[in-house]
Amino acid sequence: MNPLYTDIIGFHGHSCPGLAIGYRMTQAALSLLSESRAEDEEIVAIVENNACGVDALQFMTGCTFGKGNLIFKDYGKHAFTLFSRKTKQGARVIFNFSKITEDMRKDKENLVQWLLAVPEKEIISLKKVHVEEPEPARIFRSVKCEFCGEDVMETRIRTVEGKTSCIPCAEKQYKQQ
């Protein structure tokens, strides 16, 4: 296996087909954009699932929730869109499951090896796309929830019965009414 894939396994915890899929998808998008791992927010990733492949993307691109350059849209698609702040170019990569047979799914180790070796064009659709540049990460002040006493980002505060509330406490208050 490619040493980089081995490093990704260490990050994710195990090798699996989803990780190999994310590896191939991310590799293709980075190549199309002529980019490498971001130190800060030079690359933004928009992911459309929360499966194993997103761990490969995070490791390879440096895009994370903490840096504000990983955006999750819960669409259930094996699709990533990467945006380079440097070049203002976007790449959309989609995984094509049609080449994976039921027999292949039964032997995950062999499936991983196949995914790592199969020609890219057989499993991946890749194209340059226009992306509205996402805002850089912003730091917001924290406000105390008057119900649970926990600090919460001011942009997530709700008002319940005239009190400052975090989202879970607001939902709980509304259910009790």
The pTM (predicted TM-score) of the whole model is: 0.83
Residue positions counted in the chain? 177
Which region holds residue 31: left if phi is over 0, alpha if psi is between -120 and 50, else beta? alpha
The sheet with strand 43-47 has its strands ordered as: 70-72, 43-47, 79-84, 90-95, 124-129
As assigned by CATH, the class of the 3-129 domain is alpha beta
As assigned by CATH, the class of the 142-176 domain is alpha beta
> pLDDT tens digit string along 31-70?
999 999 988 999 999 999 999 999 999 999 999 998 999 9
> pLDDT tens digit string along 14-34?
999 999 999 999 999 999 999
Q: Where are the domains of the chain?
A: 3-129, 142-176
